[in-house]
Amino acid sequence: MKSIQTWKPGRFAEGIPMQRVRSAVPATLPALLRTMHLDHSSADAQKVALREWLHDHEPGPALKLSLRENGYGLLLEHHTIGSVGESVHQAGGTGHFS
């Protein structure tokens, strides 16, 4: 049987599989806004920042649900990592939400 390299603090050992650590993406809109220090900002400022965040990040299912439940679901309608503005304009939108 092939030995598996595993990690323990300070050394490798057998028996404990290594796991890749994922960056933590908040699971709710309030948690994300707190992380961004925008929990007390205006809705307009939050929308701008959330569009930028979505440009570079993929929200998980729980965060998508939270965005929709809190009135920010339109930000997901044209969400594509790296091309938020492009997809809004391709869909005939202005990129502005009211």
Task: Give residue limits of the domains in the chain.
Answer: 24-90
Q: Is the pTM of this model over 0.85?
A: no
- pLDDT tens-digit readout, 41-70: 999 999 999 999 999 999 999 999 999 999
Tell me how far apart the alpha carbons of residues 41 and 32 are, in angstroms, rounded to a whole number.
13
Q: What is the mean pLDDT of residues 75-92?
A: 57
Average pLDDT, the chain: 74
Nearest to 55 by CA among 24, 82, 16: 82
Question: How far from 60 is each of 24, 27, 37, 90, CA to CA, in Å?
Answer: 10, 7, 20, 24
In contact, 63 and 28? CB cutoff 8 Å = yes
pLDDT of residue 97: 45
pLDDT above 50 for 95? no
DSSP 8-state symbol, 62: H
